[in-house]
Amino acid sequence: MKVDDFSARPALGIGLKLVAIFLFSTMAAIIKFISDDVPAGQAVFFRSFFAIPVILLWLAQRGQLRSGLVAKRPMGHVWRGLIGTTAMGLTFTGLGLLPLPEVTAIGFAAPIFTVILAAVLLGERIRMIRVGAVAVGLVGVLIILSPRLGTAMTLQDTATIGALCILIATLMRSLVQIHIRQLVQTEHTAAIVFYFSATASLLALLSLPFGWVMPDGQTLALLVCVGLIGGVAQILVTSSYRYGSASMLAPYDYSSMLFAIVIGYVWFGELPTVVMLAGASLVIGAGVLVIWREHQLGLERGKARSVTDPKA
């Protein structure tokens, strides 16, 4: 079976997706834990570089090591790498400045931004249902950000900087989603995943002169784990879309909020605020409505979603 083939086994697809989301949430928690000691650029390198062996082993096991890495549009992979690496760096920066549930909640705006960008960049028609969903989602985002963007907002406020980093990263992840929707028309899914990790590793090295540190043994082990966990999680996401449709699996992305709340409380003593939960509820509701409407319109985006890392 080719990596892009579809075989309807919904229970397996859901299980793979949930495990992947849990692993991504765990990875984000590790990055947050070491953020005071390791700069974001260095974390991006380890996240990307140590995912490569996992991806290569997976392809070798499937007998697709050669065919799966053929790049028909090299510059398409370069642009995906540039945008995705920037988004990842901003996300890792924000993780060190904001509670984990808040980072997760802001990230839920990605489907909302994707609808807007699809209209602007691809000329997609957006009718009333999706317009309403976008409006509700943006209100939710403003509610989540309101404690950070009040009248006393200053760029000296680390929480404000963190919120802006995550918001911009979410917008850039949405741009990645649009780009991948075009890239999957000619490129193998495995190639998109592999070349992103390779490009991100090279780009992250550019941050080497700007404060990389020599980690102690524990920190080094955690950095390597970040890459390995990220690689395994990406493979599980990609695999999940072989067994379930995009419209069925996409809502399970929102399970990351439950994981973030539990991990944030147990590991960091963080509790979500009522304001944050209220805003997140609106964003999640709007996102689910967008997914439902796309399914009704037959906008199948499973291949694009399968190679879009939630923490890219």
pLDDT in tens, 92-114: 999 999 999 999 999 999 888 98
For 87-107, the DSSP string reads HHHHHHHHHTTS-HHHHHHHH
Give domain status of residue 216, yes or no.
yes
Helix spans in the chain (H): 10-34, 40-49, 52-61, 74-95, 100-107, 110-122, 128-145, 158-183, 189-205, 217-240, 246-249, 255-268, 274-297, 302-306
Give domain status of residue 3, yes or no.
no
AA letter at 87: A
Give the range of the structural domain holding residue 287, as residue numbers without chain letter. Answer: 10-306
Tell me: the pLDDT tens digits for 204-261?
999 999 889 999 999 999 999 999 999 999 889 888 878 877 777 888 889 999 999 9
In the predicted structure, residue 307 carries a pLDDT above the cut 80: no
Give domain status of residue 144, yes or no.
yes
Give domain status of residue 4, yes or no.
no
Domain count, the chain: 1
AA letter at 35: S
Give domain status of residue 5, yes or no.
no
